[in-house]
């Protein structure tokens, strides 16, 4: 689960609601399959417009702070083994159960969107909601450590158990993955699966070759040796390409993780400053903007004045 402020929402919407013209930076997105993505909750307005309308209906005594959490996002899914074992119709029903659980728990009127991505390595659901409790914004109360543990337990009881999924170990100190880490994990899993499928294919071909009768004539033996040498050279070349691709992919994931850690560190620092010194931060921000974009003055002719220069 991740929390987002006002300025974070538009980029998340663009990534979630991508169409066939979306310029993907994630190498695991297959744009030719993007048209297969589908919604379980879809609003007519943009995320920001829907959030603003919902907040207006709350009639809050004061406007939300600039650093208020306006959207909480969840990525819901499982591994390839699970999805390979169910039909597309069952996949739809699984994600529908996930969406229904969150709608009943947090209120359908607070669900911003629920969109399933089928154009990546593993199908998954992006569910975004406004953190509202007792008629007010309260992400801290809804999604503290205790509440998230309870959420995980209830989700398993109502959804996971029904679909034969295993619950994460309760009370575990294992770190939960954020969205970027989740995607990086799926990229690595996809690469490992492709490598395993390739090795399985090679093994099957070797088994089949061993069961074939050996040639008896010298000419047939020479032809088979030549053929085997060509196949062996081709396999070596394919293996080198796959190893190189895997190395490039691993380096890409590491680079993305380094960038993510740097961004999160900077984001946490700025958030702490805003929460601790909101007025001072606003003053510094205003001063920085003025310095970056100083006002422009025009010295034109005026009645009774001198000539402009």
CA 182 to chain centre: 7
For residues 72-86, average pLDDT: 94
The reported pLDDT for the residue numbered 15 is 92
- Residue 230's pLDDT band, with cuts at 50, 70 and 90, is confident
Rounded Cα distance, 288 and 15, in Å = 30
The reported pLDDT for the residue numbered 279 is 74
Helix, strand, coil % over all residues of the chain, rounded to 5: 60, 10, 30
Q: What percent of the chain has pLDDT over 90?
A: 46
pLDDT, tens digit (0-9, with 9 covering 90-100), for 82-140: 999 999 999 999 999 999 999 999 999 999 999 999 999 899 999 999 999 999 999 99
Token readout for 38 is: 């589908």
pLDDT, tens digit (0-9, with 9 covering 90-100), for 193-228: 666 666 666 666 666 666 667 666 677 767 777 777
- Residue 306's pLDDT band, with cuts at 50, 70 and 90, is very low
For residues 55-76, average pLDDT: 94
H/E/C letters for each residue in 5-39? CHHHHHHHHHHHCCCCCCCCCCCCCCHHHHHHCEE
């Amino acid at each position: 689960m991740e929390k987002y402020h006002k300025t974070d929402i538009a980029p998340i919407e663009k990534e979630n609601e991508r169409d066939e013209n979306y310029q993907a930076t994630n190498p695991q997105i297959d744009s030719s399959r993007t048209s297969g993505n589908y919604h379980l909750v879809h609003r007519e307005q943009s995320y920001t417009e829907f959030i603003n309308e919902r907040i207006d209906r709350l009639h809050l005594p004061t406007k939300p702070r600039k650093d208020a959490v306006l959207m909480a996002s969840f990525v819901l899914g499982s591994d390839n083994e699970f999805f390979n074992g169910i039909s597309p119709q069952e996949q739809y029903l699984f994600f529908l159960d996930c969406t229904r659980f969150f709608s009943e728990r947090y209120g359908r009127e607070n669900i911003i969107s629920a969109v399933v991505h089928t154009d990546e390595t593993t199908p998954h659901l992006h569910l975004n909601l406004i953190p509202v409790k007792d008629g007010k914004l309260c992400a801290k109360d809804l999604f503290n450590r205790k509440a998230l543990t309870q959420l995980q337990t209830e989700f398993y009881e109502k959804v996971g158990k029904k679909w034969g999924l295993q619950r994460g170990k309760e009370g575990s100190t294992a770190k939960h993955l954020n969205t970027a880490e989740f995607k990086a994990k799926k990229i690595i899993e996809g690469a490992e699966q492709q490598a395993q499928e390739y090795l399985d294919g090679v093994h099957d071909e070797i088994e089949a070759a061993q069961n074939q009768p050996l040639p008896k004539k010298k000419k047939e033996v020479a032809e088979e040796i030549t053929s085997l040498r060509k196949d062996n050279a081709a396999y070596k070349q394919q293996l080198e390409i796959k190893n190189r691709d895997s190395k490039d992919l691993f380096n890409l994931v590491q680079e993305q993780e380094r960038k993510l850690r740097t961004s999160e560190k900077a984001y946490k620092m700025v958030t702490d400053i805003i929460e601790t010194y909101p007025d001072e931060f606003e003053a510094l921000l205003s001063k920085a903007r003025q310095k970056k974009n100083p006002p422009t003055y025009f010295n034109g002719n005026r009645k009774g004045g001198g000539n402009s220069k």
